[in-house]
Structure 1
Amino acid sequence: MNDVQIRTFQVPGARLHYEVRGTGPLLLMIPGAPADAGALAGLAACLSDRYTVVTYDQRGLSRSVLTEPPADQDVAVFSDDAHRLLAALGDEPAYVLGNSGGALTALDLAARHPERVRALVVHEPPLPELLPDRERWRAVFQDVYDTYRDQGAGMAMGRFIATVEGDGAAPPAMPDPSQMPPEALEMMGRIQGNLDHFLAHVLLPVLRFEPDIAALRSGPVPVTVGVGAASGDGVPALSARVLAERLGVEPLVFPGDHQGLATDAATGAEIIHKTLA
């Protein structure tokens, strides 16, 4: 069931790389930048015995190459890509999972194209515009961008990761490259290659996104909001709790932290399947 079909799909301004696994109802899984489909490969493998799982690299990242000069990318552009990809995959609505920044794409897709989405699970969407101290977070992310411009991607990503982990959290432990399988090393290399585009063209426009709460509440798509059991008070976990409250749903607890869907894919897959079923 874990054989992977590699395909490409042309959208305005980009050629999307996507991967298909398994059989069953369609499940589209959207990763967050600067990661790509590889971040959800373990989860996709765990679900491919029950779903036709499609994962992809969002435009401008990794293998989804731009066919026009780089420009700022907002969530509407990303969700238009997802809408076009789903339309090309068939007429039936799909289950959709969005992780991190990919959850913003998924929320916009469900709000603007509910006929394409059967049910939606979003895991820790970073939505600083929903937070009570959003002006503070705007300044923090502007500082990340300015640090990138002045000091480069390495320093900027250090500051960005702190917004994900939360105040006082220890930085995430870096894996030992000698212990990593080749596909994980390959993905790490791709993510490194994505940092300039992410910081220059994705970070600020995407983090100004505010989902259409009214459309999501009144629409036909069931929305489940996931949060990591070990997540602290970083932007994604705070946002997930606020979003769930605004939607009138209880947050669904997943194991681990913001990276939990990758670090415990088997448990995450069972929670997702139970939720969708």
Structure 2
Amino acid sequence: MTPDFDLTGTGPVLLLLPGGAGHPMGLGPLTARLARRFTVVTYDPLGLAHGRLGEPVPDQRPQDWADGADRVLAAVLPPGERGYVFGTSSGGIAALALAARHPARLAHVLAHEPPCALVLPDGAERRRELIAALDGPGRPPAEGPDATPMGVFLAHVLHPFTAYVPAPALARLTLAAGTDSHGQLPYRAAQFLADGSLLELPGGHLGALEHPEEFADRLAEALTSTSVGG
């Protein structure tokens, strides 16, 4: 079964992998800007924006999001063409898994601040700190009528995704981080994985929401350039 997704714009296919629990909330301005140049495919891996928020959700794995993303690309790509991919935060981790597992449909993958904590020398400690900072008392519900995307993220995405250690990419891959994120765990993880070729994008960890037009223009330039990343 093909997972839920939305389509807008015209041009080469660009698959967006949102952060958090995969709910695309807040990405409208970024998507609208990118749709001037791409057919933007916004992947909703858990269907939270398509009527399934509040339903039971098992613990998630980056591999499963990647496999779903490949099925989405199979459904939307014209025969013989490859797609661009952008993932941020937990979506960036899914993008790394996609680049390792399903390279055949990929033209260029850009992973923005994937918080793969365990790749860092001090990653286990930093991961504990991150989880403690985010997942404290008062967690919003993950199921039922009052469920929230943040509740789903904290209950079923945060722990398994931050423990993910990426396999080598088999597709063209660029790692990116925000200009305002220096020293933070997601920036450090991206920098470590980039191995000296990190791309900086506007804003911080939420740069795609904070500076959508500038972020979109820089993202489009990086994805389509023959000299950036990869």
> Normalised by the size of structure 2, how large is the TM-score?
0.84
Give the equivalent residue in structure 2 for 1:42: 29
Q: 1:71 is matched by which residue type in structure 2?
A: P
1:25 and 2:15 correspond: no
Amino acid at match of 1:236: P
Is the alpha carbon distance of 1:35 and 1:114 closer, same or farther for their aligned partners in structure 2, counting shifts above 3 Å? Answer: closer
Residue 240 of structure 1: how far off its partner (Å): 1.0
2: CA distance, partners of 1:67 / 1:139: 27
C-alpha spacing 1:272/1:64, structure 2 compared with 1 (3 Å): farther
- Give, in whole Å, the separation in 1 of the partners of 2:180 and 2:92: 19
Which amino acid is the alignment partner of residue 107 of structure 1?
Answer: L
- After the TM superposition, which of the residue ranges 63-72 and 199-208 deviates more from structure 2? 63-72
User: Which runs of 5 or more residues in structure 1 are unaligned?
Assistant: 1-9, 155-190
1:59 aligns with 2:46: yes
d(CA) in 1 for partners of 2:128, 2:173: 30
Identity of aligned residues (%): 36
The correspondence for 2:172, drawn from 222, 226, 240, is: 222
Other-structure match for 1:119: 108
Deviation per CA, 1:124-167: give whole Å up to 9, x if none. Answer: 111101111122134335546873xxx3316xxxxxxxxxxxxx
Residue of structure 2 equivalent to 1:237? 187
Alpha-carbon displacement from aligned partner over 1:184-221 (angstroms, at most 9, x marks no partner): xxxxxxx97122222221111111111113xx1xx3x2
**What is the CA–CA distance in structure 2 between the aligned matches of 1:139 and 1:236, rounded to whole Å?**
14
**Which sections of structure 2, spanning at least 5 residues, go unmatched?**
141-145, 225-230
Q: Alpha carbons of 1:203 and 1:60: their partners in 2 closer, same or farther (altered >3 Å)? A: farther
Cα distance 1:258–1:192, how it changes in 2: closer, same or farther (>3 A)?
A: farther
Does 1:212 find its partner at 2:167?
yes
Letter of the 1:199 counterpart: L
RMSD over equivalenced CA pairs, Å? 2.4
Aligned to 2:158: 203
Using a 3 Å threshold, how does the CA distance of structure 1 residues 206 and 61 change in structure 2: closer, same or farther? farther
Aligned length: 217
User: TM-score, normalised to structure 1's length?
Assistant: 0.71
Larger gyration radius, structure 1 or structure 2: 1
Are 2:46 and 1:79 equivalent residues in the alignment?
no
- 1:64-107 Cα shifts (integer Å, max 9, x gaps): 62898421111111111111111111342210011111011111
